[in-house]
Amino acid sequence: MGVAWAVAAEGNPAASLSMNDQALAIFRDMADDEGAAYALNEKTSQLTMLGDLGKAKEADQHSLELGRKNGNKGSIVSSLFHLGNIEKLEGKLEEAHKTLSEALSIAHAADDATRSAEVELELAEVAEEEDHSADARQQVHQGLTYLHGHKDPGDEIAAEVLLARIALAEGKTPEAVRAMDAARVVFSQGPDWEGHVIFGITNARIQAAIGKLGAVRESLKTVVAETTKHGNVRYELEARLALCEVEAKTDPASARAHAKTLEEEARSKGFGLIARKALAVGA
CA–CA gap between residue 23 and residue 81 (Å, rounded): 22
pLDDT (0 to 100) of residue 75: 95
Q: What angle do CA 88, 92, 98 make, to 5 degrees?
A: 80
The torsion angle over the Cα atoms of residues 152, 168, 240 and 93, rounded to 10 degrees, is 80
Instruction: Name which of 184, 180, 157, 155 is nearest 167 in CA terms.
Output: 180
CA–CA gap between residue 5 and residue 132 (Å, rounded): 33
pLDDT (0 to 100) of residue 23: 84
pLDDT (0 to 100) of residue 6: 47
pLDDT (0 to 100) of residue 4: 46
* pLDDT mean by block of 10 residues, the chain; 283 residues: 48 77 87 90 94 97 95 96 98 98 96 92 96 93 81 82 95 94 80 84 94 90 94 96 94 94 97 97 88
Contact 51, 230 (CB under 8 A): no
pLDDT (0 to 100) of residue 5: 45
Residue type, 188: S
pTM (two decimals): 0.92
Number of H helices, E strands in the chain: 15, 0
CA–CA gap between residue 11 and residue 196 (Å, rounded): 10
Residue type, 167: A
Contact 122, 136 (CB under 8 A): no
Instruction: Name which of 110, 80, 82 is nearest 98 in CA terms.
Output: 80
